[in-house]
């Protein structure tokens, strides 16, 4: 993938098409604002050494968006208020994902420090919904788009009409909503809100990354993944199942992947969100350790 410029907005592709643990970054020339520094360590080092990076903005608190933040330790950081605590403390980070059990927390602590260069960071300030910022010659609207995380942010750069979607990334995998504070209804509402913004270019953090025409059906396909996961779960629960058995069905990831511990966690986290919705709607009941669909 290649770097692209849209006015003063520079798209910096992540390694491996921005697939996890990488993401695409965005840099606003002139204003020196770097968004989500987890794309390509060598490229970001050059940016640090050759450009005047004045601020880091994070769309949200996930590790695949801050992996190379350690290159910018003295640069002021901006994030939303709900997502800030997870960045300020490793234990809060683990809590944010709902990671339980000493062994599992140890696994993640090591991974976060070693691979993702986690260092506790306190923001210089918070970015809030409805705020407007003037970044050089670009006016940007701050958009709070919760669901993926409680404080996930998108940015609409007005003059070149570029909409930064963050992790509402329109990938075939579909949305992630497995954090402790993630929400399926909020994810749906956020995607619908983003779809209505009159942009001409759309930038997302993973895979395709740049959409120069309205993504059109990709919006609906992205949301349809949620329905498909729910439908498959309901089919599975025609027979009562425990959570371990639900995970073994690999509804989210399609098949077991390595490292298993990592993917089994994601599978369970997302399935739990679906169960929450289905239990609240009375479409599924819990009996002891098992979940059962009500026909
Ligand atoms: Zn994310």
- pLDDT single digits (tens) 173-189: 999 999 999 999 999 99
Ligand 1 geometric centre to CA of 86 (Å):
13
Cis amide bond preceding 21, omega within 30: yes
Q: For residue 256, report the distance from its CA to the centre of ligand 1, in Å.
A: 21
Instruction: CATH 3.60.15.10 in the chain: give the residue spans.
Output: 4-219
Residue 285 to residue 241: CA distance in whole angstroms: 11
Residue 259 clears pLDDT 90, i.e. is over it = no
Q: What angle do CA 255, 113, 151 make, to 5 degrees?
A: 70
Hey, what CATH class is 4-219 in? Answer: alpha beta
pLDDT of residue 261: 85
Q: 70 pLDDT exceeds 90?
A: yes
- Asked whether 187 and 177 are in contact (CB, 8 A), the reply is yes
How many whole angstroms separate alpha carbon 82 and alpha carbon 181?
A: 10
Percent of the chain surpassing pLDDT 70: 100
Structure confidence at residue 266 (pLDDT): 94
Look at the block and give the residue holding tokens 């520079």.
10
Distance 10 CA to ligand 1 centre (A): 21
HSE, side-chain direction, 13 A CA sphere, residue 60: 28
**Furthest C-alpha separation in the chain:** 63
* Distance from C-alpha of 148 to C-alpha of 62, rounded to nearest angstrom: 10
- How confident is the model at residue 262, as a pLDDT? 86
Helices marked H in the chain — which ranges? 41-50, 84-88, 90-97, 102-114, 184-195, 217-236, 243-248, 260-280
pLDDT, tens digit, for every residue of 195-247? 999 999 999 999 999 999 999 999 999 999 999 999 999 999 999 999 999 99
Q: What local confidence, expressed as pLDDT, does residue 7 receive?
A: 95
pLDDT band at 278 (very low <50, low <70, confident <90, very high): very high
Q: What is the pLDDT of residue 295?
A: 74
Order of strands across the sheet with 290-293?
241-242, 290-293, 284-287
Ligand 1 geometric centre to CA of 8 (Å)? 25
Q: Check if the beta carbon of residue 53 is closer than 8 Å to that of residue 47.
A: yes
Give the per-residue pLDDT at 272: 97
148 and 166 in contact (C-beta within 8 Å)?
A: yes
Distance CA 92, CA 52 (A): 32
Q: Which residues contact 275 (CB under 8 A, 6 or more apart)?
A: 233, 284, 291
Distance from CA of residue 277 to its chain's centroid? 21
Q: What's the mean pLDDT in 17-41?
A: 97
Q: What is the mean pLDDT of residues 131-140?
A: 95
What does the pLDDT look like over 56-66, one tens digit per residue?
999 999 999 99
Cα(23) to ligand 1 centroid in Å equals: 9
pTM for this one?
0.95
Distance 149 CA to ligand 1 centre (A): 7
CA of 295 to the centre of ligand 1 (A): 35
Distance CA 126, CA 106 (A): 30
CA distances from 216 to 159, 170, 211 (A): 22, 10, 10
- Residue bearing tokens 């933040």: 69
Mean pLDDT of the chain: 96
């Amino acid at each position: 993938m290649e770097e692209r410029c849209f006015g003063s907005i520079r798209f910096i592709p992540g390694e491996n098409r921005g697939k996890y643990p990488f993401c695409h970054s965005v840099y606003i020339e002139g204003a020196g604002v770097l968004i989500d520094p987890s794309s390509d360590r060598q490229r970001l080092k050059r940016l640090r050494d050759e450009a005047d990076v004045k601020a880091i903005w994070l769309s949200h608190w996930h590790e695949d968006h801050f992996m190379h933040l350690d290159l910018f330790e003295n640069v002021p950081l901006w994030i939303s208020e709900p997502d800030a605590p997870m960045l300020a403390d490793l234990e809060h980070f683990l809590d944010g994902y709902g990671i339980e059990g000493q062994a599992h927390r140890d696994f993640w602590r090591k991974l976060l420090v070693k691979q993702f260069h986690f260092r506790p960071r306190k923001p210089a300030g918070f970015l809030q919904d409805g705020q407007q910022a003037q970044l050089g010659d670009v006016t940007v609207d701050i958009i709070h788009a919760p669901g993926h995380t409680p404080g996930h942010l998108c940015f609409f750069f007005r003059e070149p009409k570029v909409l930064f979607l963050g992790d509402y990334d329109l990938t075939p995998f579909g949305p992630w909503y497995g954090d402790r504070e993630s929400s399926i209804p909020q994810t749906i509402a956020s995607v619908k809100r983003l779809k209505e913004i009159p942009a001409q270019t759309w930038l997302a953090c993973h895979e395709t990354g740049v959409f120069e025409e309205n993504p059109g059906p990709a919006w609906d396909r992205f949301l349809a993944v949620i329905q498909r996961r729910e439908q498959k779960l309901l089919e599975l629960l025609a027979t009562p199942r425990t959570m371990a058995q639900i995970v073994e069905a690999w509804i989210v990831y399609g098949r077991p992947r390595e490292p298993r511990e990592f993917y089994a966690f994601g599978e369970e986290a997302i399935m739990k969100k679906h169960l929450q919705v289905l239990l609240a709607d009375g479409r599924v009941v819990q009996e002891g350790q098992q979940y059962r669909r009500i026909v």
